[in-house]
């Protein structure tokens, strides 16, 4: 031992090369060591959920900066780095992510994009919601502006995913989740969307509730366009169900005797109350126009076009609104078609025959009350009568052979008179018309079949 | 330590070998060594550096370099001790009995 002590006084010269070695070792090993420790620290934190994680290493000292989502998570992150082999010190710059109170998350849809904002509880939730938004919105740009925060209610992810499904059903609007209450506003993309959203909200996870659902339905629109050139009536828009659809198309067929009905209607829920009746009335008014457009949007009816003569325009303007249910609005924009050129009596007769060949003036069964469906035909007959003001016209009523002949005679007279009265009411001079009833004495078809009888029940216009 | 050893074992081995060589030479070297006073001063310095390293008061890279230096120095001393002892053993065996 004494010798070792004596010899050690002569060991100092080796310190010089040792210092040189140390300097080279320090020079060459520091950076690789730091890189290696940074990688090992990052690997140690792999299973720990952190946000904004930054690891920097100086020598063997690791500086860990990160936002943790719980105190336990924060401590375990620091501990994980401390036990990494080679780490001397951990400079702990971790903190907890701020707590959001109330915890608000929202999804807003405008014309071009969906913006997610507010708070998300974890990076994984953030990613999952973003992915779900992209999947359910197919092609719409999704912008994520959410920040991470603590304080989310339990089952937040499930609730938010369900709400993201609903944002796809909105044309525009906003869905907000504040703690456990949901508020919705905006406009549904399609008819029935509002109802679908309300139904889906019943599946919100336990503990969540709807504070306000102010989603509006898009306007319920029905349109009809009468095209005098193509001689068509085009129906587009929505009807409540198949029965209403069939009834509307049948009514259009009766009212528009010479036009072909083009049916582009589709069935959608959400029709306002009284929709079918209002549309049938409005179609009756449209049938009296030479050309026109009918637009029914929710409870507002717009009818524009040209009436065949002045009195018809006044009648439509004044009369149609009365047929609508309470709360409906009628906006007529009716002008009068320029009067057609006068023609002589022979041409007038031809025109009458042509019109009455296409359709018949129809009455209530067994009565002399003209049904509303015949208004369009009567307007055309009146327009024709106006073109030959000098001609006197016999309005001849005919019946089939069913029933008592005397009753048929009386009915034919009353029906002829009803038509004459209608014409006079439209502004034509009463002295031009004579109403004559022929009963069943002048059939134009056999009375053996229903078809023949229907042809025999008629009103003829005979120019005298 | 195990990690550091695996990381730069080459330098540590070099320190041991350097120490071994220095220890081997020092047994038969003539001339005076460093004085007792210097030896105490250097020992105190090394003790202070060791204390600083153990207390981890030197931060960052300087702390790492200090650790590295002390480890190399410690191994150097070990090498010196082994080298001196071995040389002494070899010398005493081959020397003719007095």
Backbone angles phi and psi of A290, in degrees to 5: -75, -40
Contacts of B88 in chain A (CB under 8 A): 3, 7
Of A11, A59, A60, the CB nearest to B26: A11
ω into residue A340 within 30 of 0, thus cis?
A: no
- Distance of alpha carbon A380 from alpha carbon A358, whole angstroms: 12
Which token pair is B28? Answer: 């038969």
Locate tokens 């009350």: which residue? Answer: A369
Mind listing the pLDDT tens digit for each residue in A223-264?
999 998 999 999 999 998 899 999 999 999 999 988 899 999
A169 in Cβ contact with A193 (< 8 Å) = yes
User: CA A421, A426, A430: angle at the middle one, nearest 5?
Assistant: 50
CA atoms within 13 A on the CB side of A384: 23
Q: Given 3.10.350, 3.30.1340, 2.60.40, 1.20.1330, which CATH number is that of A15-96? A: 3.30.1340
The CATH code belonging to domain A104-216 is 3.40.1520.20
Mind listing the pLDDT tens digit for each residue in A400-429?
888 888 999 999 999 999 999 999 988 899
Which segments of A167-326 are extended strands (E)?
170-178, 181-188, 209-216, 221-227, 232-239, 260-267, 289-297, 300-307
Mind listing the pLDDT tens digit for each residue in A3-55?
777 788 788 888 899 999 999 999 988 999 999 999 999 999 888 888 888 99
- Distance of alpha carbon B12 from alpha carbon A58, whole angstroms: 21
Backbone angles phi and psi of A91, in degrees to 5: -90, 105
What is the sign, positive or negative, of the torsion defined by CA atoms of A333, A334, A335, A338? positive
A439: left (phi over 0), alpha (psi -120 to 50) or beta: left
Task: Report DSSP letters for A68-130, one per residue.
Answer: ESSHHHHHHHHHHHHTSTT--EEEEEEEEPPBPSS-EEEEEE-SSEEEEEEEESSHHHHHHHH
- Distance of alpha carbon B65 from alpha carbon B11, whole angstroms: 13
- Distance of alpha carbon A265 from alpha carbon A249, whole angstroms: 9
Query: With an 8 Å Cβ cutoff, are A22 and B4 in contact?
Result: no
Contacts of A89 in chain B (CB under 8 A): 56, 59, 63
Identify the CA nearest to A422 among candidates A453, A353, A389, A376.
A376
A–B: how many Cβ contacts below 8 A? Answer: 113
Q: Which residues contact A184 (CB under 8 A, 6 or more apart)?
A: A166, A173, A174, A175, A176, A197, A201, A210, A212, A213, A214, A215
Q: What is the pLDDT of residue A258?
A: 86
Looking at per-residue pLDDT, the higher value among A273 and A162 belongs to A162
Nearest-CA residue of chain A relative to B63? A59
Question: For the stretch A214-249, what's the b/e string if a residue is b when 16 or more beta carbons lie within 10 angstroms of its beta carbon?
Answer: ebebbbbebbbbbeeeeeebbbebbbbeeebbeebe
Confidence of residue A1 (pLDDT cuts 50, 70, 90): low
Q: What are A's interface residues with B at a Cβ cutoff of 8 A? A: 3-4, 6-15, 17-18, 21-22, 24-26, 29-30, 33, 36, 58-61, 85-86, 88-89
Name which of A4, A8, A14 to mutate to probe chain B: the one with the most chain B Cβ atoms within 10 A of its Cβ.
A14
Contacts of B84 in chain A (CB under 8 A): 3-4, 7-8, 11
Confidence of residue A139 (pLDDT cuts 50, 70, 90): confident
Locate tokens 């009335």: which residue? Answer: A281
Contacts of A9 in chain B (CB under 8 A): 32-34, 39
| Angle between helix B60-94 and A15-44 (nearest 10) | 130
Q: What is the pLDDT of residue B36?
A: 81
Give the 3-state secondary structure of residue B23.
helix
Q: What is the pLDDT of residue A339?
A: 86
Q: What is the pLDDT of residue B1?
A: 62
CATH fold group of domain A221-336: hypothetical protein tt1634 (3.40.1520)
What is the sign, positive or negative, of the torsion defined by CA atoms of A204, A209, A214, A217? positive
Q: What is the pLDDT of residue B98?
A: 45
Tell me what ipTM this predicted complex has: 0.90
Residue intervals in chain A for CATH 3.30.1340? 15-96
Query: With an 8 Å Cβ cutoff, are A14 and B34 in contact?
Result: no
- Distance of alpha carbon A62 from alpha carbon A66, whole angstroms: 13
Q: Where are the domains of chain B?
A: 33-92
Confidence of residue A395 (pLDDT cuts 50, 70, 90): very high
Q: Which residues contact A367 (CB under 8 A, 6 or more apart)?
A: none
- Distance of alpha carbon A62 from alpha carbon A94, whole angstroms: 12
- CA B32, chain centre distance (Å): 19
Which segments of A253-385 are extended strands (E)?
260-267, 289-297, 300-307, 329-336
- Distance of alpha carbon A427 from alpha carbon A197, whole angstroms: 55
Of A6, A13, A85, the CB nearest to B3: A85
Identify the CA nearest to A279 among candidates A249, A254, A315.
A249
What is the sign, positive or negative, of the torsion defined by CA atoms of A42, A45, A49, A51? negative
Q: Hey, what's the torsion of the CAs at B61, B65, B68, B70, to 10 degrees?
A: -130
Q: How far A38 CA lies from chain B's nearest CA (Å)?
A: 14
Query: With an 8 Å Cβ cutoff, are A18 and B80 in contact?
Result: no
Query: With an 8 Å Cβ cutoff, are A18 and B73 in contact?
Result: yes
Of A4, A18, A33, the CB nearest to B72: A18
SS3 string, A72-88, reads HHHHHHHHHHHCCCCCC
Name which of A21, A34, A91 to mutate to probe chain B: the one with the most chain B Cβ atoms within 10 A of its Cβ.
A21
Q: Does the pLDDT of residue A85 top 70, yes or no?
A: yes
Distances (CA, A) of A452 to A254, A371, A444, A446, B44: 19, 21, 8, 5, 135
Looking at per-residue pLDDT, the higher value among B8 and A148 belongs to A148
Mind listing the pLDDT tens digit for each residue in A88-112?
899 999 898 888 889 999 999 988 8
Q: Does the pLDDT of residue A138 top 60, yes or no?
A: yes
What is the sign, positive or negative, of the torsion defined by CA atoms of A328, A239, A259, A362? negative
Locate tokens 């690891």: which residue? Answer: A55
Residue ranges, chain B, pLDDT below 70: 1, 95-98
Query: With an 8 Å Cβ cutoff, are A3 and B88 in contact?
Result: yes
Q: At the top level of CATH, which class does the domain A345-463 belong to?
A: alpha beta
Q: Which residues contact A310 (CB under 8 A, 6 or more apart)?
A: A336, A427
Q: What is the pLDDT of residue A365?
A: 85
Residue intervals in chain A for CATH 3.30.1330.60? 345-463
Which token pair is A426? Answer: 């439209």
């Amino acid at each position: 031992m004494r010798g070792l002590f004596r010899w050690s006084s002569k060991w100092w010269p080796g310190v010089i090369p040792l210092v040189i070695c140390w300097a080279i070792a320090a020079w060459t090993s520091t950076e690789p060591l730091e890189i290696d420790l940074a990688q090992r620290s990052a690997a140690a934190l792999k299973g720990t959920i952190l946000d904004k994680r930054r690891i920097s290493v100086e020598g063997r000292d690791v500086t860990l900066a990160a936002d943790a989502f719980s105190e336990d998570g924060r401590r375990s992150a620091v501990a994980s780095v401390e036990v990494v082999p080679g780490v001397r010190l951990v400079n702990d710059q971790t903190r907890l992510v701020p707590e959001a109170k109330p915890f608000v998350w929202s999804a807003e849809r405008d014309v071009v994009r969906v913006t997610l904002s507010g708070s998300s509880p974890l990076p994984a939730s953030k990613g999952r919601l973003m992915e779900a938004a992209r999947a359910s919105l197919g092609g719409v740009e999704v912008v994520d502006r959410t920040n991470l925060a603590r304080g989310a209610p339990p089952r937040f992810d499930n609730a938010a995913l369900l709400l993201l499904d609903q944002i796809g059903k909105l044309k525009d609007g906003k869905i907000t989740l504040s703690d456990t209450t949901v508020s919705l506003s905006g406009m549904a993309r399609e008819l029935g969307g509002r109802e679908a959203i309300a139904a889906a909200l019943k599946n919100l996870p336990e503990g969540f509730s709807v504070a306000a659902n102010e989603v509006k339905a898009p306007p319920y629109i029905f349109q009809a366009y009468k095209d005098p050139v193509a001689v068509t009536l085009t129906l587009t828009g929505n009807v409540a169900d198949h029965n209403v659809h069939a009834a509307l198309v049948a009514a259009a067929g009766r009212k528009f005797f010479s036009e072909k009905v083009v049916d582009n209607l589709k069935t959608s829920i959400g029709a306002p109350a009284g929709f079918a009746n209002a549309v049938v009335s409005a179609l009756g008014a449209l049938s009296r126009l030479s050309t026109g457009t009918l637009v029914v949007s929710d409870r507002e009816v717009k009818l524009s076009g040209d009436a065949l003569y002045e009195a018809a325009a006044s009648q439509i303007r004044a009369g149609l609104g009365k047929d609508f249910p309470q709360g409906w609005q009628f906006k007529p924009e009716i002008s009068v078609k320029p009067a057609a050129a006068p023609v002589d009596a022979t041409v007038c007769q031809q025109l009458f025959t042509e019109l009455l060949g296409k359709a018949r003036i129809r009455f209530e069964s067994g009565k002399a009350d003209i049904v509303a469906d015949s208004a369009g035909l009567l307007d055309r007959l009146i327009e024709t009568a106006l073109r030959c003001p000098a001609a006197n016209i016999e309005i001849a009523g005919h019946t089939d052979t069913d029933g008592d002949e005397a009753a048929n005679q009386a009915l034919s007279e009353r029906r002829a008179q009803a038509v004459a009265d209608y014409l006079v009411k439209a502004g034509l001079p009463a002295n031009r018309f004579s109403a004559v009833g022929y009963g069943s004495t002048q059939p134009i078809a056999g009375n053996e079949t229903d078809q023949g009888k229907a042809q025999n029940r008629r009103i003829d216009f005979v120019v005298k | 330590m195990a990690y550091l050893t695996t990381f730069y074992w080459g330098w540590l081995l070099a320190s041991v070998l350097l120490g071994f060589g220095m220890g081997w030479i020092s047994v038969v070297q003539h001339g005076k060594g460093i004085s007792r006073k210097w030896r105490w001063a250097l020992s105190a310095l090394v003790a202070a550096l060791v204390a600083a390293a153990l207390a981890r008061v030197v931060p960052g890279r300087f702390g790492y370099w200090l650790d590295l230096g002390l480890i190399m120095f410690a191994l150097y001393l070990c090498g010196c001790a082994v080298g001196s002892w071995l040389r002494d053993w070899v010398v005493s065996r081959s020397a003719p009995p007095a």
